[in-house]
Structure 1
């Protein structure tokens, strides 16, 4: 075998690593991965504005690195994807520290200690480009040393990653207030992103605490796991090449089941539409949030906003899922796509049904035919909206001898055939807070609601129901199941209902007999 050595030129390699498409939140998340892998319990991300001299630092209290380990960590791709890693190691290719940092700065310094002795190495990309060599510097400059002394004061263990000569700020003036504000606005974006990516590590009894610019990162739970109204659909374990992928679908509560603040938070930083779909986790670290993974027939639509699915993949299956360098995208294996499509279609159907009936699916399945004034069905691919002919008020009008039943039926058909679905779709987002509330929404019934309930009460008693039976039927009927009135359990019907004409029990019994 004859060959020539053809190592990549440092200048070209630096340019390639700097152009992998990292956003600032993605880059910092990659560095937090390293802190988690090092057993850190606290991570602090500092933003310091000084114009072109601005810097960012990521400081953790992990186990730190020896001089040899630090050099390995600073070497590009020193540990490839086939390297054995501990179960808590979130790494992948061995380039995250360098690629994430080079995408954001030209001067990267890492200082680490295991027992109080801090060891420091620096990549100055200007030096690399000028010399054409990978010169890993041992001694930082005076400005860098001053920052390191500040952030390591009182610490005997941990790691500091310091970014200087920040991309996009090398020509900035310290007095430029607009650019300064943009600089600190980035901190909020980072905080939000880390709260999503590391939600399983943060909050409660979780082992990790992260601060960005002095403000703690709050975890964002995409599944609203603590809500009693969350619907957990049956999870599945999918086998692949001797390992398993765990898939758990959820239908989230709609706006009627959450407070306005809870509903807004559940929508996520990018809104309900962007956050529907699959959430792919690798060792509890979120890789992809809110995507239908490009699966055929699954696309974002408002009616599926409540559909979210958690997927947990083993880190050993990175290649099968094509986890990228940034740990921000995945491609599902061909062998699993049919199963994931099936699960996606199922949770989307359940979510759409929940939205359509505003969370009343269970009530509709288990209650009598009076529960809804409308029957909404899908038959042969067509949706139909029909007025419930068995609703007591509708039935009473149809049976009224003084009215022409043909005219009433014609009116009902006209209403059914002209439901303004397109207008409703334009005016209202799916299950949004501005959806119309029957009789003003849950709580004490107003006079109009009470009058409608009185008429129902009269009709039900005329049909032979006892007073208690009539009240029970009313409170199981939408929207009276959400309103308080004379029909509510435990209320005094005489006091609450006023002068409600009622048949004596003996007359009601006689009517049932005949």
Structure 2
């Protein structure tokens, strides 16, 4: 056999690991996975702003690692084929490295088992690029020493991961207020994401989580404590010698929820993007609020109350196509007919629950989602009017405030010509060919172009960029699709944003 050893070039592989698509929240969650696998009962995430010298650290009180175990943990894909314990949330043996390289150019891991001394190893991306070698350092870089000393004060054993040279902040002055706001916004997003992803662990006290000293609040997507939540019969579907647990829920109609309850149940993305399947792997949430691409299942407002929990065995990861980031799955072909049946029944029950009263209540108890239309029923008549308080409409009216007659005439014309007959014919049946927002061949370009114009309009009306992006994320139809407004990364050009007053 003739062959050559074609080893990957270290710097190129590191760059590839850093480009796997991790958001900051996904990356921190990957480190939490490792802490849970190490039987940690407490985990703290620290964000410290210092401009270019800003850092993020994750500390846990798990069982820690010996020197050999730490080297293995720092080696790319060293455990990809290893048998894993039942509490192990790992997938490919790449999480620590890929997550860390995606967010930092320098990261240090310090760990100790109860029967050993503290061990330390560091990856320096610049050193890898200069030497072309996998030189795993046996010490803390000087800039990390005071950070590690501070974090170890309250740990007898466990593991600390410190990220430095953070992506997006390599050349940012500590006095840059816009960058500082972006940095702390990232900490808030991480706290919310951890509360969603590890809710089961926090709720049953298996894990205490905090971000910058504040306890992470778990988020229950199914409102299990609410008396009006309907739990449909559970099922177990066989797959490759294992059982996949399914439990559908129909949430209470919004008129049965207090304002605070409705806002919390809507989650970070809003009610419409939270409907669908919630896929858990060893109690860790992988996918939240998706119909998994099943044929004919579209996201519609009338199905907002349908949420379905799926518990998949880790042994079936390959069949579910769990990705490296543990952030997405694909339904196995063998289960799709059963999942479609279960989802159809849950959607039907949810639609019945919101019919008429619920549809109107969802508008009246809006939890931050911006609707372009107001729908009201008064004296037996339903009226449709354009929402003048919609951020874009309001900004447009302000733009034409010197001569608003023309724009007002256009709005009135649209209100008086709503194609009721056509819509009624279209929705006689629930068909898969109903129009969807930005669902053409050029959908991504179209939605981005429209969103950029709306963003510019809101900024011109006096909003900061971060505020305008927050509004855009809660605006139909952008609350239902992904684009630059949903990217969970620091603004790469903080200087382009107006300084908030």
Q: Same fold (TM over 0.5)?
A: yes
Q: Which runs of 5+ in 1 are unaligned?
A: 360-414, 428-514
Residues in 2 aligned to 1:154 and 1:341: alpha-carbon distance in whole angstroms: 50
Which residue does 1:229 correspond to in 2?
A: 228
Residue matched to 1:36? 36
Deviation at 1:328, TM superposition (A): 0.3
- Which residue matches 1:137? 137
Q: Distance in 2 between matches of 1:23 and 1:35?
A: 19
1:98 is aligned to 2:59:
no
1:305 counterpart residue number: 304
Distance in 1 between residues matched to 2:43 and 2:354, nearest whole Å: 40
Partner of 2:157: 157
For the 8 Å contact 1:323–1:329, the answer to whether it is kept is yes
Aligned Cα root-mean-square deviation (Å): 2.0
Deviations 1:256-283 (A, max 9, x none): 2211111111111110001000000000
Residue 336 (structure 1) aligns with: 335
* Length, aligned pairs only: 370
SS of 1:423's equivalent in the other structure is strand
Deviations 1:243-267 (A, max 9, x none): 1111110000012221111111111
Q: Paired residue for 1:487? A: none
**Contact 1:47/1:57 (8 A) holds in 2:** yes
* Distance in structure 2 (CA, Å) of the matches to 1:199 and 1:155: 24
Cα deviation digits, residues 309-337 of structure 1 (max 9, x gap): 00000000000000000000000100101
In structure 1, the residue matched to 2:442 is: none
Aligned equivalents of 2:109, 2:39: Cα separation in 1: 17
Q: 2-side partners of 1:220 and 1:140: how far apart?
A: 37
Tell me the CA shift for residue 154 of structure 1. 3.6
Whether 2:55 is the aligned partner of 1:55: answer yes
Whether contact under 8 Å (1:110, 1:160) holds in the other structure is yes
Shift of 1:424: 8.8
Question: Tell me, what secondary structure is at the counterpart of 2:384?
Answer: helix
Report the Cα offset of residue 183 of structure 1: 0.8
The residue aligned with 1:321 is 320
> Partner of 1:376 in structure 2?
none
2 CA distance for matches of 1:330 and 1:181?
33
Query: What is the TM-score normalised by the length of structure 1?
Result: 0.70
- CA deviation vs aligned residue, 1:162-209 (integer Å, no higher than 9, x gap): 000111101000111221121111111000000000000003x42101
SS at match of 1:165: strand
Cα deviations by residue, 1:451-477 (Å, 9 ceiling, x for unpaired): xxxxxxxxxxxxxxxxxxxxxxxxxxx
Cα deviations across residues 47-100 of structure 1 (Å, max 9, x unaligned)?
Answer: 1111101111000000000000000000000011x3210110000000000000
Matched residue SS, 1:110: strand
Q: Which residue of 2 aligns with 1:247?
A: 246
| Equivalent position of 1:179 in the other structure | 179
User: In the TM superposition, what is the alpha-carbon distance from 1:240 to its structure 2 partner?
Assistant: 1.2
Query: Do residues 423 (structure 1) and 384 (structure 2) align?
Result: yes
Q: Distance in 1 between matches of 2:12 and 2:130?
A: 12
Is residue 2:217 matched to residue 1:218? yes
Of 36-45 and 149-158, the range deviating more from structure 2:
149-158
Question: Counterpart of 2:77?
Answer: 77
- Given that residues 254 and 263 in structure 1 are in contact (C-alpha distance below 8 angstroms), is that contact kept between their aligned partners in structure 2? no
Residue 27 of structure 1 deviates from its aligned partner by 0.3
Distance 1:238 1:135 in 2: 47
The DSSP-based 3-state class of the residue aligned with 1:168 is coil
Alpha-carbon separation, structure 1, partners of 2:346 and 2:308 = 8
Q: Which runs of 4+ in 1 moved over 2 A?
A: 422-427
Could you tell me how far apart the structure 1 residues matched to 2:91 and 2:56 are?
24
Aligned to 1:112, the other structure's residue is in SS state: strand
CA distance in structure 2 between the aligned counterparts of 1:143 and 1:346, rounded to whole angstroms: 57
Which of these two proteins has the greater Rg computed from alpha carbons? Answer: 1
**In structure 1, what is the equivalent of residue 124 of structure 2?**
124
Structure-2 residue corresponding to 1:399? none
1:426 to 1:250, Cα distance in 2 relative to 1, 3 A: farther
Q: How far apart, CA to CA, are the structure 1 residues paired with 2:68 and 2:77?
A: 15
3-state SS in 1 of match to 2:187:
helix
Counterpart secondary structure, 2:339: helix
Within the alignment, does 1:285 sit opposite 2:284 as a pair? yes
SS in structure 1 at match of 2:100: helix
Query: Counterpart in 1 of 2:444?
Result: none
Q: Kindly indicate whether the alpha-carbon contact (under 8 Å) linking 1:251 and 1:351 is maintained by their aligned counterparts in 2.
A: yes
TM-score, reference length from structure 2: 0.72
Asked if the contact 1:58/1:161 (under 8 Å) is kept, the reply is: yes
CA contact under 8 A between 1:195 and 1:220: conserved in structure 2?
Answer: yes
Q: Distance in 1 between matches of 2:386 and 2:19?
A: 42
1:45–1:58 contact (8 Å) kept in structure 2:
yes
